Chains A and B, each alone.
Chain A
């Protein structure tokens, strides 16, 4: 077994020799990552390369088969870890938005604030409206998610996560389910978020976005991290043949 990845003072999330199998399929093989505070890490790679699985392990939506994930030094898989306490600090944005269709946009954003953060109704509404303002759609507050466009729904989902004041945000292909003309409005919100210093981990195929805001790039293939490093350097000079091949296909 390789050496344990130590948790440093600048680290927000550390993935330590993580493997995950679904039945006989090995989705992730021995992946190790270090997410530093205030950085934007973009995970790229072909479909089925285990990107989403690694991301989902970062808030324990998937339980690793072996290896470990640490957030602020806390071992997620440890028996005495209260996962709900960790999750409230880590925002998650899904490909399919996963808004709650039976409640208004505002209720979507205030629910967890009140139930988890224990905020008063007015406080939660104030935070929600501020976040809706931030993502540019305060006028949609009283509509049901179903009445919104895909881009608007995804922005609500981002506002919902931000309203919990997370220390990091995970994005699982946030623009893959969107019509082309709505991708930009979501990326713009993420851009603003990145420039505000939020720690972000983004699984994405948006190379333009990755170039613009990515500080760290991770290339995965067949469940393995084949290459990782400074985004600018990797875009300019990919080392691994798989990364080179991938770039040549999609850039």
Chain B
């Protein structure tokens, strides 16, 4: 589904990603871990198409198609979703209206009519229940005055609504207490299927107790320095990142 080949990318000549190789197949959950500044969030943004980053070498393929000339919205229409570490506040636009806009724009891109209102309402009800979201919450302005936990839950609600093929969760666990973490992880797990894939980006192993990955990759200085199964995450938790930094030098 996603193939990242020798990806080099950066901002204004500063290279942040130094040759990333990553392949994700349908049904898989991958986790990328790494210390602060290792390039985790940059990788997430580059896959989602943020224009600020320049790809200097390598490529990103999605469903066999090179994404180089593809805008973020087109990537979204193809089924890539990015859950933000810091979701943006949009005053005056309710969660419901925002979702209607997003869904209908995606449908328009696929040549479909707007989703009928009753179907939309049913979908919103179903997905908000999945994430234990109060109905009142849906009429509030998007992310405005939301707590950290509410913002993250709302991100996963959007993911549930948009049903992406590949969901990238960027530090979804940061700022969450244990109850909120459980609800969010539960929501993500219910959305797992053999047809979609998830890329979890996290600093800590905690989230991976709830969203159990098939593969774990460690990012350091813009490179994947080690890959393994979920046991690697536990090892990292025990030994910290320094152990790997040393190993990568060797």
The answer to whether A and B belong to the same complex is no
> What residues of chain B have their CB less than 8 Å away from a CB belonging to chain A?
none
Binding site for B on A (CB under 8 A): none
